A and B are shown apart, each in its own frame.
Chain A
């Protein structure tokens, strides 16, 4: 029965493996310390590599697992849900670019060579990244082309002020010469948009879970606050936003035709869901929600970071409004 938006056994196994591997408590603790150096947990990174995450959608004859974009979306949903920091996005998209171009980097990327994302910074002509200290190679990404670069000379990367998202290490990158190895095409960008949307949908869902857990046990006026209608209604709206974002990401992941428009729709819906849910979750926690110790603000910070990562609202609106509506099948 092919037309199905619910995960099957294999896909459930992928979700379960990701849930076992990714530790939201450890991730939140590391984000809270805002320590210098790489943001990724090397132990988690190595295990994810061993499970084949970066070759998940690469055909088996090229050394990958031969699965599809739907499975990638499930993994990135889990990354968002658990606030796992690190260049998972760049590395995943880089593998597909390496495969499409026959790049010799493919094997290294699938073996866990972390790839940072460079987006073009129009005014300066240089590039922006948030993967300052994690990347061993680089993926230049724009809506209609992409390029894979090896390690950059140290002098090319200049740190810029910290982001409110502690999982981001922002920098401005200036290259001596023009990038020459571009491949034309919209697919890498579309995949990146979609996977960012999946992470945002995961954040939106985690905010719902955080609010449900708290409001079910916190008592005021002699009863759990989750029984008060105002709180219930806020949680119901949060759940609806998270479900809308999650299902749309899956639909977009499974749709071949007009994938760019559906991915843009998914990002628009998921970015709103993540930021709004994170805000509501802070409110649901009362004074606790205002503290550094509770995870709610970490989700808010990441949601803003991801929303701004690839494009601004004007570009996103254009992508959604282009043409007529995507036909899902």
Chain B
């Protein structure tokens, strides 16, 4: 009996000789170059760590795996991309949402899809080399899940936009050189009309980024204030008032492929916990894995991590057939984000009192991962996307 599909079938996971060679090349490079030390949680050390790692990948030609070669990318195939991500996760390379995340995972892809040549040339190579750190100025105090309710205003004055207002929860705004900024340039018939997507240099006079301490005790995000901030019109991506379309492509990248390495990595995280449960004992000296309660949580976590991997591959397979990730990615996000939280809770729970040690990686992850069902669209918003755009149910609200 053969358990593998015959060669030639599309629904197929067999790698060609060339792809196997590529996998080995990637694995070797990562084994020698992925940082061994744990990523610092905060401040300059964190920024330097993220930039140095980005730079090392860039210098070796591994940054922008799927980006066109003319902007410094590798222009590699979908298969090679997936191989890269899975070897990356397997090597234990850093998968935290680092300071280079926005540039790599959604600002860059959005520029590739929607920006003019001049903006692409200026920013894409700088993103890949780690020179430019980007942040995302979408959310506002009055516009979170309801992004179209944003009210930060921009008026056209000569060849500039003049921005006034406030953004919030802007990750790493205090470390960034550039921002993907959504502003309201007019009030149209629909609230989605009259929004503009513009590249905002963070050193422009009139911008103030005030760090906000998060649940983990670190300064990950900021409130950002804009007081007569002048941005050249040539920084607009797409056209004035047409930013909603551009923003939707940004979000589709963020939700679609932005978390691929973490999704692939989750299997290894669960493996560590299964191993931990094989060695840790309860007070009576029995290994934890012999307990039906722990075994059920671990087996479910491992099986669901396998499911996330499979769903990720399906999304990638779908992406290969279109230019923008489709709404099905929201299903992966829904399962993945909640599973990440269950796995990080297991990592704390399995360790008993030791599990509560402040400053430990597992306590940090447990707290940090509350973000995963909030950021990039809350789980409730993701469910609405699945209901209305995947299943075609009547519109709610």
Contacts and interface: CB of A to CB of B under 8 A. Distances in A.
Nearest to B334: A240
The B interface, classified by DSSP as helix, strand, loop or mixed, is helix
A236 B13 contact: no
Contacts of A110: none
Interface residues of A, number: 76
B387 interface: yes
Contact of A7 (B1, B10, B313, B395): B10
A86 to B, nearest CB: 21
A184 B100 CA distance: 53
Given A99-B1, A244-B335, A245-B307, A236 B391 contact: yes
Interface in B27-86: 77-79, 82-83, 86
A321 B310 CA distance: 18
A325 B10 contact: no
B391 A265 contact: no
B14 A325 contact: no
Contacts of A318: 295
A150 interface: no
A265 B308 CA distance: 11
A254 B4 CA distance: 5
B5 A6 contact: no
Contacts of A328: 13, 86, 309, 313
B349 interface: no
Interface string A205-218: 00010001001100
B324 to A, nearest CB: 16
A67 B386 contact: no
A262 interface: yes
A215 B393 contact: yes
Given A4-B11, A68-B9, A321-B289, A233 B387 contact: yes
B383 to A, nearest CB: 4
A298 interface: no
B12 A254 contact: yes
A74 B300 CA distance: 24
A126 interface: no
A301 interface: no
B271 interface: yes
A224 B391 CA distance: 14
A236 B274 contact: no
A67 B270 CA distance: 34
Contacts of A67: 5-6, 9
B4 A69 contact: yes
The A interface, classified by DSSP as helix, strand, loop or mixed, is helix
A3 B393 contact: no
A243 B386 CA distance: 11
Nearest to A187: B1
B306 interface: yes
Contact of B313 (A188, A231, A251): A251
B311 interface: yes
Which of the four size classes fits the interface of chain B? 35 or more
Contacts of A208: 391
Interface string A312-324: 0110111011001
A169 to B, nearest CB: 27
Contacts of B3: 68-69, 187, 190-191, 253, 255-256, 259
A269 interface: yes
Nearest to B11: A70
A80 B310 CA distance: 20
B320 A269 contact: no
A294 interface: no
Contact of B317 (A5, A70, A233): A5
Interface in B71-125: 77-79, 82-83, 86
B394 interface: yes
B12 A232 contact: no
Nearest to B80: A3
Interface string B261-272: 000000110110
8 contacts: A71-B11, A226-B393, A236-B386, A243-B311, A247-B313, A248-B306, A265-B306, A317-B296
Given A236-B334, A243-B331, 16 more contacts: A3-B79, A71-B11, A227-B394, A229-B384, A236-B391, A239-B387, A239-B390, A244-B335, A247-B314, A248-B311, A254-B4, A254-B5, A317-B296, A321-B299, A324-B275, A325-B306
